Structure 1
Amino acid sequence: MPNVRGFDVNGQTCLNKDDFAREVASNATVLEEFDRQKSIGQYPGRSLADTFAAEIAAKGDIYAWLHSRVQAADFSGLRIGDYVDVPITAGANVPAQTVRYMIGAIDPYYRCSDSPMGHHVAFVPSAPVLVGGSKASNGSYIKWNDTATNNGNSTTKEPYLISKLHGWEISDYLPALPAALRNVLISHRSLAEQRYGSAGGLTEASGWGWADLGKVWSLSEMEVYGCPVWGSKGYSVGMDCHFPIFDSTASRLMGERVTWWLRSVAGGSASGVCDVSGGGFAGSYSAVYEWVRPRPCFLIG
């Protein structure tokens, strides 16, 4: 009987099927299933390109659509874990690849920092990305630095900002992103840890300061774990918050057991840098360790 559209009464058809009501009920059932999957850490994410195809077509491309949604603070229908596949153009130090970017957080820093940030969506790669060319180690990995130091210098006291990792993110990876995507990215302004002393390498933070991390950046311990682990207590946290996409140990791997760098440097060491291990746990390696990959993120705003 579920597909009966009506009954014949004395030669007159009386309709009893409400297509709109059925569609609403069906959509509610789908969303309920998504919520169930998320609650047990099994939500696979949806392709934004497929799910919102009609809206995207009206805006021209998926990046313009995302930008318009964010500017209007319209996050309806967007879910943590939904994704867009981004084609990366080959460059001197970046091999051609397609990187699946997942929604990692929505408005995590809205109206925060020394200059209030506008609405934004943070995107996180579903897996560490590949490095190439002269900046690669062991084929597709990268050192955090070419020297075993996690300190800044007299000009730039924030270690991450002068790291080899961040230099690759800004000089090599950012230009390899599609131009339409680059046009809608905003810089991540953060209260960044400083570590510099004129007398020599420091093993703990010397302070913090407002800094632009740029339009492509690595995650901090706080954004991944929800707390400092090996980083300097206090100064390494700044204004960072935990990203909801990392809701379990397994979610740090996202299917690939590869160690990846964080932007946080290790406390108690003048050379260590924090990372997420291939086993999902918090760790740290010397800045010159060669078996770690980057996981560059961005904000669309």
Structure 2
Amino acid sequence: MPQVTHLSFVNDDGVREKREIVDAGGRTLIGEQEKKIAALEEVDEGFRGGPILLNTQQANDTFEGRDLEVLFEDEIANGYANVWEYLADRVDLARDTAVGMRAYAGLRVGDYANVQVEANPYPYMIGAFDYDKGCCDPEQGPSLLMCTRTAFPERVQWNTTNDNNGTAAEPFPYLASNVFRYLRDTLLPKFPAEVRAVMKERVCVLEQRYSASAKLSDSTTWAWKNVGRLWLPDEGEIYGCVYWGSRYGSGLVGQIPAFQLPRDRIFRTPDGTRSTVWLRCVSGLGSSGACSVSSSGNASNYSASDTGVGVAPCFLLG
């Protein structure tokens, strides 16, 4: 074993020092440091490899999320039918003002549970905690915002015609769109019953774009509307700002934490193929485009009737 000639340590002022070992006092200091190290090694290995490691991963943007069914297996087995009922109970506990967000202890953005739709599992991760609590009209309560980076393989037209306007009967483009009907009538019924049972309908601000006299190339106002239990995010929720959409298209402009980095906005179908996915806002530059996330991750927009774009919808647990 090589002879130790220097010692690196943190002094009483919290400053790291490096000292040459020249006397018995130095050797005594080594002994004290070795005792401290031995004491640290006796600390519960689960803690040292748990919260400390996870905090470091999140600080360095390297956290990949944990399977919630595995992580809370024992708690789920203690009276819950499935992981979704367990998570919904966490949200219900958060409604207690004396508990608040402490109800989410142990959960982290990026932790996920799989949703089996037909032949494929879709990892739905926690995208945000209480994302719009206290906001909207009516005021919203606690929730877990669940999102996925796995695009559904079916290609869906945003609208069956190359038109991003609303209609006389439904002046809000998203609610009048083909993709909204697809999510509500085709995709949602394919979700497992235990997931649908704990989904919360979402209220958000939607742009309005309709005129009886002509097609409009920009939206004219907005209003609070119910977008259902399965919904597409807007540009503000994905990118934290508006690129191609209207100033009325992303009213809250609150980026979902799970989409913070460019690499977080790469969507792939279950076979691993990169996919462009639709957003719920329409282009602010014309009467035919709808906003999207390109297969390369950048903000984009496509003709509303494009047949090569998929979806990766979100939902709220609450």
Alignment check: 8 A CA contact 1:113 1:239 kept:
no
Amino acid at match of 1:289: D
CA distance in 2, matches of 1:103, 1:150: 31
Which of 72, 79, 86 is the equivalent residue of 2:108? 79
Match of 1:152 in 2: 166
Map 1:1-301; keep pairs closer than 5 Å. Answer: 22-23=43-44, 26-58=46-78, 59-73=80-94, 74-89=103-118, 96-131=119-154, 141-233=155-247, 235-253=248-266, 257-301=274-318
Structure number with larger C-alpha Rg: 2
Paired residues of 2:165 and 2:215 also in contact (CA < 8 A): yes
- 1:240 is displaced (CA, Å) by 4.3
Does structure 2 retain, via aligned residues, the 8 Å contact 1:190–1:240? no
Whether the aligned pair in 2 keeps the contact of 1:197 and 1:206 (CA below 8 Å) is no
Aligned pairs, how many?
267
- Structure 1 residue 238 displacement after superposition: 1.5
Which string of whole-angstrom CA distances, capped at 9 and with x for unpartnered residues, describes residues 173-208 of structure 1?
Answer: 111111111111111101111111111211111111
Give the drift of 1:144. Answer: 0.7
Distance 1:159 1:42 in 2: 38
SS in 1 for 2:207: strand
Aligned letter for 1:46?
A: R
On the 8 A contact 1:231/1:274 being kept in 2, the answer is yes
In the TM superposition, what is the alpha-carbon distance from 1:35 to its structure 2 partner? 2.3
In the alignment, the residues of structure 2 paired with residue 276 and residue 179 of structure 1 have an alpha-carbon distance, to the nearest angstrom, of: 29
Long gaps (5+) in structure 2: 1-37, 95-102
Instruction: Flag structure 1 segments of 5+ consecutive residues without an equivalent.
Output: 1-16, 90-95, 132-140
Query: 1:245, 1:265 → 2: CA distance?
Result: 23
Q: Structure 1: which amino acid aligns with 2:43?
A: R
- Compute the displacement of 1:275 (Å): 0.5
2-structure distance, mates of 1:240, 1:213: 17
Look up the SS of the partner of 1:168 in the other structure: helix
Q: Offset of 1:254 from its aligned partner?
A: 5.4
Q: Does the CA-based 8 Å contact 2:236-2:252 persist in structure 1?
A: no
Determine the C-alpha separation between the residues in 1 that align with 2:152 and 2:133: 27
Question: 1:46 & 1:100 partners in 2: Cα distance?
Answer: 10
Q: Is the 8 A contact 2:145 2:314 kept in 1?
A: yes
RMSD: 1.8
SS at 1:213 equivalent:
strand
Q: Secondary structure at the match of 1:193?
A: strand
Partner Cα separation in structure 2 for residue 268 and residue 119 of structure 1 = 36
Work out whether residues 232 and 280 of structure 2, in 8 Å CA contact, stay in contact via their aligned partners in 1.
yes
Name the CA shift for 1:107/1:26 in 2 (closer, same or farther; >3 Å). same
- Tell me, in whole angstroms, the C-alpha distance in 2 between the residues paired with 1:212 and 1:51: 33
